[in-house]
Structure 1
Amino acid sequence: MATLQATFYGHTFDNPFMNASGVHCMDKTELDELAASASGSFVTKSATADSRDGNPEPRYINLELGSINSMGLPNLGLAYYLEDAIKRQAANPDTPFFLSVASYKGFDEYVSNMKHIQESDYTGLVELNLSCPNVPGKPQMAYDFEDTEKLLNEIFKFYTKPFGVKLPPYFDFMHFDKIADVLNKFDIKFVNCVNSVGNGLYIDEATDTVVIKPKGGFGGIGGEYIKPTALANVRALRQRLNPSIDIIGTGGILTGRDAYEHLLCGASMLQVGTQLHKEGLGVFERLNTELLAILEAKGYTSIADFKGKLATLD
C-alpha cells in the first residue's frame, strides 16, 4: 500500500500539500478551514509589521491558464498571526504549520519582525518571504544577493528558531549559483520556490484594457503558465543547496501529475495557490487521490522512492 507521507525538517506530514501564502489564509476562520481540510499542512498570510489593506481592486483575476495579481500584501499584521500561531501550537504541539512573515518597507522591517517572533513563545516553522515589494528603487530582496546575505547575517545574530525563505523565480544559471552560494552559508531549514513570475501583463480582448488596476495592469503570474519555471527552480536549487535544506515546490500545481513532477525535481512539500483559489479546499482531496494513483501505477510505496530522481538524457 502506497503512502503520501512527507518528511520535512524532522516532521512527518500525512501528505505534502499546503496552501500557498496569500490564498485562503487571511484570518483565523480560513486557517481553521485549512487545518480541517485534506492538506498536509498550511501556511499563514505573509504578515507585515502593521496591518495592510493592500492595493485597490480589481487586484486578482483568474485567467484561462492561471492568474494575475497585484495584491499589495493585504494582511492583518504580524501580531494577529503570531498570537494565533502561539495558540495553535499550544493546542496541537504535534501538528506543525508555517508562519509567513514579510516586509513592505525593506531591511529594517524584516529584522524587526523576526525579532518579534524570536521573543515570542512561537517555536515552529517560519517562512521568511524575500519575494515581496522592497523599498522604492530596489528589487525584491531575493533579487539582490548582497542585501539578502546582509539580511540573513543580521537575522542569525539573534534568531535561534527554525526558518526558511520564500524565493522569486530565477531565470539564469548564474543566478541559481549566486542565491545558492548565499543560502548555503546559513543554517536555514528550507526554501520555497517559487513565488509568482513578476510583472506580467494580461489584456482583455473585449475591452483592450488591462485586467487589474494596480501598477497599470502589471502583476504576478501564477498557475499553469509558470509550472516549467517553477520546476526549473526546484531542480536547480536542489542540485545546488546543502542536502540539509528542504525545498517546498510552488507553481502550476493543478493535478497529481504536476505534484509528482515537483517531487521528482526534489521538492519535499508542495504549495497550491491559483488552483486552490479557483477550486476551493476540495482541491487537496483531489490532488491526494491523483498523486496516490500515480505512485501505485508506478509501483512506488512512498515519495522517497522517486523524490529528486529526475532522469536526464545524458
Structure 2
Amino acid sequence: MVDLSTKVAGLSLPNLLFNASGVCCQTEADLKLMIESESGSLITKSATYEYREGNPSPRYLPLPSGLGSINSMGLPNEGYEYYLNFAKNYDYSSKKPLFISLSGLSLADNVKMCEAFVAADLPCVLEVNFSCPNVPGKPQLGYDMEAMENALNVLAPLIKKPFGVKLPPYFDIAHFDTAAAIFNKFDNLVYVTCINSVGNGLAIDFETESALIKPKDGFGGLGGLMVLNTALANVNAFYRRLPTKQVIGVGGVTSGKEVFLHVLAGASAVQIGTTLKEEGPTVFARINKELTDIMIAKGYKSLDEFRGKVKTL
C-alpha cells in the first residue's frame, strides 16, 4: 500500500535509501554488500585519479551517547580506474542505479576522470564531490564559489549527461543564494547531495584529555544525529532554490523518522552514513520498514504526497 520508489537523474530507484559515499563503498566487496542489501541504489567511494591510502589511524570513531561520529579519512580509495572497471561490469538490469563519486585533487584530475567515464558511455550517474573536508592542505571547493563555478563551466559540458554534485554544509543564507544561482546555470546538473560531514570538529576524551582521532591534530568531519538539523536546513534551502533540480539528503539518519523529515524538507532520495557504518547493510531493511510504518500512520501512500511540504509558522 506504500510506495517508497523514487527517481533521481531520470533513473528509477525501487526505494529512496542508499549509502553515503565514504561508507560501505571502497572495495568491490563493500559494493557487493550494498547490491545484496535492501537499498534502492549505491554510490562508490569518492575516487581520486590515483590510489590513496588516506590519513593515519585512528581516523574514524563513533561518539558517545549516540551523538554521531567524527572522521578524518583523507579520501582513501582505489583510484578512479578501479571504479571505472566496476562500472563497466555492473549489472544495470538489477534495478539498482549506480552512482559514481569523483573527487579529484585538482580540476585537471576531475577532467581526466570525467573524460574516461564519458568515453566509456555507461548508464551510471556521475557525482562530483566538491566537499571533502579531510584532506590536509586541500580546501573544500564548495566554499569557494568562484572556483566551483569555474569547475562547473568546464565539467558540465564535458559530462553532457545528467550529473550531480556533493556539497558541504552551508550556514549562511547568502551562501545558499549564491550557490543556487550558480547551480541553476547548468541544465545537466540535475541534483545536489547535501550534506557532507560538518568539517573540522574536535572530539576530546575527558579522561585522557586527548583528541580522539590522529589526523589534523584531532580535527575531523562530524556526522550522525548531531548534524541532522544542519542537513535538513541545507536540503530545504536548495529544494526551495533549485526548482528544476533534485536534492539528495544525507546527515543524521538513525531511523525512519529522520528519513521522513528529509523527504518533508524536500529530499528525493536519502543516504545513510554513520548509522550504516555502525549497523551494517541490514540498516536498509529496518529503516525502510520504519518509514513505511510512519507513512501508513500518517496516511501517505507515496513520497510525492509529502516531499518538500514542511510547514512554517
Same fold, judged at TM 0.5 (above): yes
Which residue of structure 1 lines up, in the alignment, with residue 82 of structure 2? 80
1:148: Cα distance to partner?
Answer: 0.6
The residue matched to 2:201 in structure 1 has which SS? strand
Asked whether the 8 Å contact 2:250–2:272 carries over to 1, the reply is yes
The residue matched to 1:15 in structure 2 has which SS? coil
Any gaps of 5 or more consecutive residues in structure 2? Answer: none
Alignment of 1:126 onto 2:126: yes
Asked whether the 8 Å contact 1:257–1:294 carries over to 2, the reply is yes
Change over 3 Å in CA distance of 1:156–1:30 after alignment to 2: same
| Amino acid paired to 2:258 | D
Asked whether the 8 Å contact 2:224–2:253 carries over to 1, the reply is yes
Paired residues for 1:200-215 under 5 Å: 200-215=201-216
Return 218-227 or 158-167, whichever deviates more.
158-167
Residues of 2 paired with 1:224 and 1:134: CA distance? 20
1:265: Cα distance to partner?
Answer: 0.4
Which residue of structure 2 lines up, in the alignment, with residue 296 of structure 1? 296
The residue matched to 1:189 in structure 2 has which SS? strand
Change over 3 Å in CA distance of 1:295–1:93 after alignment to 2: closer
Asked whether the 8 Å contact 2:12–2:95 carries over to 1, the reply is no
Deviation string, structure 1 residues 104-154 (Cα, Å, up to 9, x no partner): x32221222212211223232111111025997663101000011100101
1:185: Cα distance to partner?
Answer: 0.3
| Amino acid paired to 1:231 | L
1:100: Cα distance to partner?
Answer: 0.8
1:244: Cα distance to partner?
Answer: 2.5
Aligned Cα RMSD in Å? 1.5
1:157: Cα distance to partner?
Answer: 3.5
Residues of 2 paired with 1:254 and 1:134: CA distance? 23
The residue matched to 2:33 in structure 1 has which SS? helix
Residues of 1 paired with 2:10 and 2:123: CA distance? 14
The residue matched to 1:58 in structure 2 has which SS? coil
Residues of 2 paired with 1:56 and 1:14: CA distance? 38
Change over 3 Å in CA distance of 1:236–1:200 after alignment to 2: same
Residues of 2 paired with 1:138 and 1:212: CA distance? 19
Asked whether the 8 Å contact 1:203–1:211 carries over to 2, the reply is yes
Asked whether the 8 Å contact 1:238–1:247 carries over to 2, the reply is yes
Residues of 2 paired with 1:15 and 1:267: CA distance? 13
Which residue of structure 2 lines up, in the alignment, with residue 165 of structure 1? 165
Change over 3 Å in CA distance of 1:138–1:82 after alignment to 2: closer
Length, aligned pairs only: 310
Alignment of 1:153 onto 2:153: yes
Which residue of structure 1 lines up, in the alignment, with residue 63 of structure 2? 63
Which residue of structure 2 lines up, in the alignment, with residue 12 of structure 1? 12
Deviation string, structure 1 residues 227-264 (Cα, Å, up to 9, x no partner): 000000000011111x2311100000001110000000
1:162: Cα distance to partner?
Answer: 2.1
The residue matched to 1:192 in structure 2 has which SS? strand
Asked whether the 8 Å contact 2:134–2:220 carries over to 1, the reply is no
Deviation string, structure 1 residues 61-81 (Cα, Å, up to 9, x no partner): 011210000001000000000
Residues of 2 paired with 1:135 and 1:40: CA distance? 30
Which residue of structure 2 lines up, in the alignment, with residue 2 of structure 1? 2
1:82: Cα distance to partner?
Answer: 0.7
The residue matched to 1:308 in structure 2 has which SS? coil
1:92: Cα distance to partner?
Answer: 2.5
Residues of 2 paired with 1:123 and 1:80: CA distance? 17
Residues of 1 paired with 2:149 and 2:16: CA distance? 29
Asked whether the 8 Å contact 2:14–2:96 carries over to 1, the reply is no
Asked whether the 8 Å contact 1:82–1:117 carries over to 2, the reply is yes
Change over 3 Å in CA distance of 1:53–1:102 after alignment to 2: same
Alignment of 1:113 onto 2:100: no
Asked whether the 8 Å contact 1:123–1:162 carries over to 2, the reply is no
Residues of 1 paired with 2:96 and 2:70: CA distance? 32
Residues of 1 paired with 2:124 and 2:57: CA distance? 34
